[in-house]
Amino acid sequence: MVERIGFFGLGAMGKGMALNLQTKGFQLNGFDIAPEPVAILVQQGAVASASIIELVENSDIVVTMLPDSPEVEAVVLGEGGVLANGRGGMLLLDMSTVDPDATDLLAAKLNQAGIDVVDAPVGRLEQHANYGESLFMVGASDEDFTRVRPLLEAMGTTIHHCGAVGSGMRTKLVNNYLAIVSCQINAEVLTLATRLSLDLQTTLDVIHGTTATNGQLKINYATKLLTGDIEPGFAIDLAHKDLTLIVNAANQVRVPLPIAAAARESVSLARSTSFHNKDFAALLDHWYERAGVKAPRL
């Protein structure tokens, strides 16, 4: 039986993922509050659903890619959502980055209705989503992981089964802790280098030749920010949201994260400016602006 896929959340990441599903042979229904990405999917042969209810009624697997926990809970647990309109045997594949407690809650409620849940938050950036090169951190039973794996393989190149439901989301928070804090440190380091009148390229060559280097500086900065592109693959607003989730999750298990807490407050400063909806690597431009120096470009 060919499973019908419903995809809700066609934003910067979701649009590319849904397009990869559609162009790689899946039977797709799409819905979003913005009509433009839905129209693009329809041009590729997908069906447009007029509401979440219609999407759920015409899907065997519902995929969500949404900004935060409240949006996911509304779509899944609200009157017009998955729980109220779904049926036994369905599966929810949530690829959003949300509070792990929200994932646990959704799984508990949907499982009572015979609906399975998989959490598969996404690593990498918008360009990877567009090219079908995303990384997925999956929380699922073995059976459900087998069921969703063909979808994930159509959308990505790297899939990690992290454990039971909820483990994918918790792995994502650990990963994003390092990624976001790395961007904050990089911003401070390169601002300092400029204030010390150091040549940017020489400084980068030195850093990349030692253990001081990091993936954000080597990849995201080199291919995006330092070329002048600060449009979001992952916005500063979302980085702040994730740091909040990280700090809250750590507090619940009594793990002190003073660096994460400090980074969140630092990102709050950038979030209060016009950089809030720019890529999180643009923390560098924010810090250059605060230091009164020109943002560097290679």
E-only strand ranges, the chain: 4-8, 27-31, 47-48, 61-64, 91-94, 116-119, 122-123, 134-139, 156-163
Query: Percentage of residues in the chain with pLDDT exceeding 70?
Result: 100
The confidence score (pLDDT) of residue 1 equals 65
What residues make up the domain containing 54?
4-164
136 close to 13: Cβ distance less than 8 angstroms: no
One domain, residues 24 and 138 = yes
Please give the average per-residue pLDDT across 218-236, as a whole number: 91
146 and 239 housed in the same domain = no
Q: Assess whether pLDDT exceeds 70 at residue 189.
A: yes
Instruction: Judge whether residue 65 has pLDDT over 90.
Output: yes
94 pLDDT band, cuts 50/70/90, is: very high
Q: Bigger pLDDT: 233 or 3?
A: 3
| Predicted TM-score of the model (pTM) | 0.93
Mean pLDDT of 199-216: 96
| 132 in the same domain as 42 | yes
What average pLDDT does the segment 166-183 reach? 97
With a cut of 90, say whether residue 127 has pLDDT above it: no
In a domain, 221, yes or no: yes
Band of residue 2 on the pLDDT scale cut at 50, 70, 90: confident
Spatial contact of 202 and 275, defined as CB atoms under 8 Å apart: no
Plot region of 197 (φ>0 → left; ψ -120 to 50 → alpha; else → beta): left
CA separation, residue 264 to residues 58, 82, 121, 220, 230 (Å): 41, 33, 21, 20, 20
Task: Please identify which residue in the block is written with the tokens 């926990």.
Answer: 69
278 belongs to a structural domain: yes
- Tens of pLDDT, residue by residue over 234-246, are 899 999 999 999 9
Least confident piece of the model among 12-21, 64-73, 256-265, 289-298: 289-298
Q: What is the mean pLDDT of the chain?
A: 95
Nearest one of 180, 290, 163, 177 to 234, comparing CA atoms: 180
Model pLDDT for residues 131-167, shown as the tens digit of each residue: 999 999 999 999 999 999 999 999 999 999 999 999 9
Query: Is 278 in contact with 231 (CB distance < 8 Å)?
Result: yes
Last residue of a domain, one of 121, 144, 164: 164
102: domain CATH number? 3.40.50.720
Annotation says 172 is catalytic: yes
Q: Give pLDDT, residue 298.
A: 86
Given the residues 15, 172, 241, 278, the one annotated as active site: 172
**Cα–Cα distance measured from residue 182 to residue 187, given in angstroms and rounded to the nearest whole number:** 9
136: in domain: yes
In a domain? residue 298: no
Query: Within this chain, do residues 130 and 272 fall inside the same structural domain, yes or no?
Result: no
Domain count within the chain: 2
Q: What is the CATH number of the domain that holds 249?
A: 1.10.1040.10
How many C-beta neighbours within 10 Å does residue 51 have? Answer: 11
